[in-house]
Amino acid sequence: MTIPIVSTHVANIDIPRPKDVGVLAMEVYFPRRCISEAELEEFDGVSKGKYTIGLGQEYMAWPDDREDINSFALNAVAGLLEKYNIDPKSIGRIDVGTETIIDKSKSVKTHLMDLFAEAGNFDIEGIDSKNACYGSTAALFNAINWIESTSWDGRNAIVVAGDIAVYAEGAARPAGGAGACAILLGPNAPIVFEPIHGTHMSNTYDFYKPNLSSEYPEVDGPVSVVTYIAALDEAYSRFREKTARQLKLAQINGYSNGHVHSGDKPADPKAAFSLQDVDYALFHSPYGKQAVKGHARMLFNDFRSAPNAPQFADIPNPEAFLAASQKESLSDKNVEKTFIAASKKSFAQKTDPGMACSKRLGNMYTGSLYGCLASLVANVEPAQLRDSRVSMFAFGSGCAASFFTFRVKGDTSEIKEKMDLMNRLAAMKVVPCQEFVDALALREKNHNAVSYTPEGSIDNIWPGAFYLDSVDSKYRRKYVKAPLA
């Protein structure tokens, strides 16, 4: 891939913003091993379907103490640079989103600078963004905004989104996962982000990590379930309101982008945008079932804005769904059930093509939504993906959420080919559940340790991948590459 560089190293004062900023290239890194959630049900002695149907999980990836967030990020970025033959000097910014904090001060980003040292490129802006699973989306927005700012110097940006999601023994453990995405961003991209963001942020204690000496989070189950859906309602509403205002402005100014609804004007201006305006809808997916619920909730919002639309003709007892307040609807199991059923076909068409990483790797936290993007590119033929419009719902507990969209304006063939995602996911080793339990015990034992050499076997590292060699007496971490096969 020839990565277009508009100019180098000169701040473009008063030069118009570059056009079509988006994804030029992409890579996903993940551990070599995974376990089957069906086997884990048996291993844990829980009822069949608890993880596979209840959570909607199929497999889950995890590293032992040979990998950490720095080695994950190094692998994702090194893979990106190598596969696409990117000149390290062509990078002017790197933003990392992660909630896997192994140092309260030093950023993951500083470790990535090792990949650019040989080329002599130390002039790379951007550090780490933190708020649960939302850090990646903040990183993405920040990198795009840099390219659109007067401070942009013509070089491309990289966004890294990755985490190691591990839980204490108990109900949440099967909802873990691991992986990291690296995304090359620049102008004139085949995948182009649109400017409107519908955002919702508020102070919640649904999932958080206040126990600094543990790698595990605190999770308030009941609060957590509602927070995601409530944030989706709000972020999606803000997005739709802004879209409606923009359409109105465009109409006033004599423009139309083809998305103005004709016929009877809906009473709710939010109806200016619905699921029907996108070809694909991607959701932050802590587990598969959450994406199903998110998709259904989007449809529920569409229904509330335009209940008389033909697509809702089969919704049973619609008055009840319209009479309830938004707050009441959050905990109404009948709402969930009805709209999951009503959106089944839509989910299969618009969301499932983006679920490959979630199904194989589990929850990548910040990487989850961008794993959906990678899966979509990997699963859909470039000719079919071209000219499609895709929505993204980003969510991080605490909480921070944004709803936004992108358009596929160019050819995604090279990204699909270079990522080689489906083959690589298939090549993972599916191992017995005891290996997973042992690996997590090893992580617990060595979490935050000083003066130690990890115990995990190098055989479980992909050939040529970075891993943690040792932590010295001053907590300094050393990374080396596994031998090539």
Binding residues for CoA: 224, 289, 293
**Quick one: 376 exposed, middle or buried, by C-beta within 10 A (0-12, 13-18, 19+)?**
buried
Of 153-182, binders to a copy of itself (CB under 8 A) are 153
Among 142-150, 282-290, 298-306, 412-420, the segment contacting a copy of itself (CB under 8 A): 142-150
Do the beta carbons of residue 339 and residue 329 sit within 8 Å?
no
Q: Is 284 designated active site?
A: yes
Of 223-242, binders to a copy of itself (CB under 8 A) are 234, 238, 241-242
Should residue 20 be labelled a site residue for a copy of itself when binding is judged by CB under 8 A?
no
The residue from 41, 99, 215, 336 that is catalytic is: 99
The residue from 37, 58, 133, 399 that is catalytic is: 133
C-alpha–C-alpha distance, residues 184 and 300, integer Å: 35
366-to-87, 114, 285, 340 alpha-carbon distances in Å: 26, 23, 10, 25
The DSSP result for 137-154, as a single string, is: HHHHHHHHHHHHSTT--S
Q: Is 181 designated active site?
A: no
C-alpha–C-alpha distance, residues 222 and 227, integer Å: 9
Q: Is 99 designated active site?
A: yes
Query: Which residue lies nearer to a copy of itself by CB, 22 or 353?
Result: 22
Of 335-354, binders to a copy of itself (CB under 8 A) are none
Query: Which residue lies nearer to a copy of itself by CB, 58 or 67?
Result: 67
Query: Which residue lies nearer to a copy of itself by CB, 9 or 344?
Result: 9
**Quick one: 416 exposed, middle or buried, by C-beta within 10 A (0-12, 13-18, 19+)?**
buried
Token code pair at residue 481: 């590459």
Q: Which residues contact 192 (CB under 8 A, 6 or more apart)?
A: 20, 21, 22, 406, 407, 408, 409
Query: Which residue lies nearer to a copy of itself by CB, 107 or 391?
Result: 107
Among 171, 196, 431, 442, interactor with a copy of itself by CB under 8 A: 196
Of 437-456, binders to a copy of itself (CB under 8 A) are 448, 450
Q: Which residues contact 160 (CB under 8 A, 6 or more apart)?
A: 73, 76, 77, 94, 95, 96, 97, 98, 108, 109, 112, 139, 180, 181, 182, 183
Q: To the nearest whole angstrom, how small is the minimum distance from the Cβ of residue 123 to a copy of itself?
A: 5
Within 10 angstroms of residue 402's Cβ, the number of other Cβ atoms is: 26
Among 30-38, 177-185, 207-215, 408-416, the segment contacting a copy of itself (CB under 8 A): 207-215
In our burial notation (b when 16+ CB lie closer than 10 A, e otherwise), range 212-235 reads eeebbbebeeeebbebbbbbbbbb
By rule CB under 8 A, what string of x and - marks binding of each residue 456-485 to a copy of itself? ------------------xxx---------
Among 34, 40, 77, 138, interactor with a copy of itself by CB under 8 A: 138
DSSP 3-state of 186: strand
Query: Which residue lies nearer to a copy of itself by CB, 457 or 473?
Result: 473
Of 245-304, binders to a copy of itself (CB under 8 A) are 245-246, 249
Among 76-84, 193-201, 338-346, 461-469, the segment contacting a copy of itself (CB under 8 A): 193-201
Catalytic residues: 99, 133, 284
